[in-house]
Amino acid sequence: MSREDPQFKLRMPPELRTQAEQAAKAAGRSLNAELVARIEASFISDAETERLLPAKRARELSLMARAEIPNEIRRRAISAIGRAIRLGHSEAIASLEDLNLEFGIPDNELDDLTSKVIEELEKSGYKAKWDDIATLWIEF
C-alpha cells in the first residue's frame, strides 16, 4: 500500500474507532494499516483465494490472527461459564478443538497466548486447567 493508493472516507461509531486505534497501537502500526490488514484478512478467511500471497504478508496476517486467540479463548470461557450457570452446574468446559492450537504455534508462544486468560479466571475465583490444549476446564 502506498500514499498513491486512492483514499476512502469511512464513518464509524466512536467506540469502534477507539477499539481499532487500540488494536493498531498494540500492533505498532497506523490506524489505516490496521484497518486494511483486518479487511484483507476477512477476505482471506471468507473464501480460498486463487492468488498466492507473498510469504511475508502471510506471516503478518497469521500473527494478526494469532493475537486474537486469547480474546477467542476468553469469549468461549465466559460463554461456557454462562451455560454452566444456566444448567445449574459448578464446572464449565470450553471446547477449543476447532482452533487447532496443537499445530503450528510453538509451545512457548501458546503458553504466552493462554496464560493471561487463565490468570484472569483465577483472579476472579475460578479454578482453570487445561485437559489438553483443546479443552479448558473451569470450576467455580
Digit-coded pLDDT (tens) for 33-86 = 888 888 877 777 555 556 788 898 888 888 888 888 999 999 999 999 999 999
Q: Which domain holds residue 23?
A: 14-67
Burial 101-138 (b: 16+ CB within 10 A, else e): beeebeeeebeebbeebbeebeeeebebeeeebeebeb
| Nearest-5° Cα angle at 94, 71 to 98 | 75
The answer to the question of residue 34 being in a domain is: yes
Q: What are phi and psi of 135, to 5 degrees?
A: -140, 125
pLDDT at residue 138 greater than cutoff 80: yes
The answer to the question of residue 89 being in a domain is: yes
pLDDT: which is higher, 1 or 73: 73
In three-state secondary structure terms, 19 is: helix
Say yes or no: 33 and 44 in one domain.
yes
Say yes or no: 134 and 76 in one domain.
yes
**What pLDDT, on the 0 to 100 scale, is given for residue 1?**
58
Say yes or no: 103 and 130 in one domain.
yes
Q: What domain count does the chain have? A: 2
The answer to the question of residue 77 being in a domain is: yes
pLDDT mean across residues, the chain = 87
Q: Strands 91-95 and 127-132: what pairing?
A: unpaired
DSSP category for residue 99: G
In three-state secondary structure terms, 27 is: helix
Adjacency order of strands within the sheet including 135-139: 91-95, 135-139, 127-132
pLDDT at residue 24 greater than cutoff 90: no
**What pLDDT, on the 0 to 100 scale, is given for residue 48?**
57
- Average pLDDT in the 90-94 region? 97
The answer to the question of residue 80 being in a domain is: yes
Say yes or no: 82 and 125 in one domain.
yes
Residue 108 grid cell: 512457548
